[in-house]
Amino acid sequence: MDFENVLILIQKELRDAFRNRWFLLYAIAFTALSLALAWFSVSGAGSFGVAGFGRTTAGLINLILLIVPLMGLTLGAMSVAGEREKGTLVYLLAQPISSAELLLGKFVGLSLALTAALVIGFGLTGILIAFMGSGGDFMVYLTLLVLSILLAVASLSMGFLISAAVKKAATAVGLALFLWLILVYFGDLGLMGTSMVMQIDVQQLLALALINPLQVFKLAAVLDLRDNLEVLGPAGIYAFRAYGQTLWPLLIGLLFSWVLVPFALATQAFKKRGVL
């Protein structure tokens, strides 16, 4: 593999991402909402007695669960399918590059674009909290940023898989939005409804949560914030008691698997489908 080719493609994807109006819209919306959340959290600290990075981190979790996967899925869905539909994929592969270099360059470039958007959003929010003189555990806030980047790249990887498997960008984006709805629906409300209707036990409820990357992120974020999962109910309590100190590395490993496995499958799907 020629990493000089990969670096050129990374630079191209970074330029394309920051010219993508949907990506810019998502990034601006996330930054604006996180700033507003931090403002309300800090300004209401006198009434509730909690302020700073800790309270903002708790509020950001649900915002991240909605916006960050949507950013990653749609950006990934438009990547390969968009190039294929415009005919530029044929031109790119006519150059002295392999399909593996092409996919790796696009994936790393878009991952860096997502990381930059999240760092800007978190950075401006952190500056606002510090400027308003609020305290709190900055490391918890920083860990949430790292977890958010992992969730974004995992979502991008799933979007890549969709994009590599279909021909048209509109179809890929539609499938990505449908997958986003499924992942969001099978969150807290979906799991609660399923457990009530099917009368599943706490072990099965935890298993359903662990196959959803959004819920894996939420478990890791809450564990980082509170050092326990009691706030998540019976499934959280069972997970903490069953896995103990191994729960945190298990959750991080699951998030990494959601990055690696879909990308590996996308590579195979792209080789099978080709440029058509």
pTM of the shown model = 0.87
Closest CA to 39 of 29, 27, 51: 51
In tens, the pLDDT along 235-247 reads: 667 777 777 778 8
For residues 66 and 201, what is the distance between their CA atoms, to the nearest angstrom? 27
Instruction: Specify the range with the lowest mean pLDDT, choosing from 4-18, 82-96, 119-133, 195-209.
Output: 195-209
Encode burial over 199-223: b for 16+ CB neighbours within 10 A, e otherwise: eeebeebbebbbebbbbbbbbbbbb
Across residues 99-112, what is the average pLDDT? 90
Distances (CA, A) of 170 to 63, 157, 212, 255: 26, 18, 25, 27
From the list 147, 151, 148, 131, the residue with the least C-alpha distance to 53 is 131
pLDDT at 54: 63
Q: Is pLDDT at 275 greater than 90 in this prediction?
A: no
Q: Which amino acid does the sequence have at 227?
A: D
Average pLDDT over residues 200-206: 68
**Helix, strand, coil content of the chain in percent (nearest 5):** 85, 0, 15
List the chain domain ranges.
3-184+263-273
d(CA 148, CA 156): 12
Q: What is the dihedral angle through the alpha carbons of 126, 128, 134, 135, rounded to the nearest 10 degrees? A: 10
Confidence band for 47, pLDDT divided at 50, 70 and 90: very low
Question: Looking at residue 191, what is its pLDDT?
Answer: 56
Choose between 12 and 46: higher pLDDT. Answer: 12
Digit-coded pLDDT (tens) for 122-156: 999 888 877 775 556 678 888 899 999 999 999 99
Rounded-to-integer distance, Cα 242 and Cα 232, Å = 15
- What is the signed CA dihedral for 256, 250, 67, 101, rounded to 10 degrees? 0
